[in-house]
Chain A
């Protein structure tokens, strides 16, 4: 059991990457201090703790920093092995598969999601949305094969791949609302659509998944700050 003050997480409530270690810590029942970064600036502590990338999340365990969200999740899994279920699958091949899809999410799928906001014009927007939908289709397939009829990628309980993908559900819902499209479409990705509901309802996720309304307001705020007026 971690001593009070021993575990700290530097992060921000809207960040899906920050959500990952929070869910992992919740699954393990580990108490931690959440050090919220203010939007638009980086604290000295963050810059000192992650000098290489200067990004959140950073886990501080007895003052030692661990960076990169999925590295942190694996660290949490190994550091509190007897608390709660194992986050990574126990079989090496299953672990390799979980890591593969987590890497796909971070390297291909998430960039396609950010592509929607960046797309200029109707055609580009549609292309970007189609890309995200294609990715979800692949992930739907993976869900079927990996979950084998169980509620989560991890089986009966939330696991590594659930965390890797589930953290984006809030932003997916915001995108659905602002773009007027259905991405977690019960008709196209029925498995994932139901899984998303279960994920968000889980005790380890409920407190850290922001409400879509709050996230949508935040999205408007940052879009407002980054969108430059068109040149005259």
Chain B
């Protein structure tokens, strides 16, 4: 049966990037539909009525919402190529734990870095660096979080690398100076086409953040 795969997405979204990377890793052809989040399409509202958010993966007409759920779905359906989840149950549990950690910390802290100032911003920067250092500890000397192979946690985290330049510029700090191993790991991931083609230019993300700051009235 011909597979119909559509991705409702928004180019700067790190959550959307996760799904793009997973689809690319599996070599899946899909229809990318850019959403205007100020004017959401009827398709998006129909496919994700609960949250009305991107990304939404639509496989043969059926929607899968929430980026990490979509990545697991892609991994399970197209299981014969580039497995993203480890096969051992304990390793899988660890992968899920750390992907969940990324979800709980990185986006919100990053957002605070570009959208606040003064003490609030300093606190966010500190916690952000601490979180990345914890992830560095988990990475250790491995090339990827999954070990020798690029996997689930790498997919969950690497999209935020495209936002690092924006965080650094808005926050006045260097992520590479604080967390060199994470930056080295991200650059290693970017050697993979699935990643380099899914992540926008960090300067473009910075431009987008500046527009957001204007729109929300943040200095």
Contacts and interface: CB of A to CB of B under 8 A. Distances in A.
A61 interface: yes
Given A93-B73, A138-B50, A71 B66 contact: no
Given A99-B69, A99-B72, A138-B50, A71 B90 contact: no
Contacts of A93: 59, 62, 64, 73
A93 B58 CA distance: 11
Residue of A52, A64, A79 most packed against chain B (CB within 10 A): A52
B69 A103 contact: yes
Nearest to B49: A138
Interface string A130-150: 000000001000000000000
A75 B62 contact: no
Contact of B93 (A52, A71, A99, A103): A71
B92 interface: yes
Nearest to A103: B66
Interface stretch (B94-102, B146-154, B173-181, B197-205): B94-102
A8 to B, nearest CB: 15
Interface string B93-115: 10011001100000000000000
A92 B73 contact: yes
Contacts of B217: none
A72 B90 CA distance: 10
How extensive is the interface on chain A, given as a class? 20 to 34
Given A74-B92, A78-B89, A79-B89, A96 B97 contact: no
Nearest to B134: A52
A194 interface: no
A96 B19 CA distance: 14
Interface string B157-169: 0000000000000
A34 interface: no
Nearest to B59: A93
Given A52-B101, A75-B90, A79-B89, A92 B76 contact: yes
Interface of A: 52, 61, 64, 66-68, 71-72, 74-75, 78-79, 92-93, 95-96, 99-100, 103-104, 138
21 contacts: A66-B93, A68-B100, A71-B93, A71-B97, A72-B93, A74-B92, A74-B96, A75-B89, A75-B90, A75-B92, A75-B93, A92-B73, A93-B59, A95-B76, A96-B69, A96-B72, A96-B73, A100-B64, A100-B66, A100-B69, A138-B50
Of all A-B residue pairs in the complex, the 4 with the closest CB atoms, nearest first, are A78-B89, A92-B76, A75-B93, A96-B73
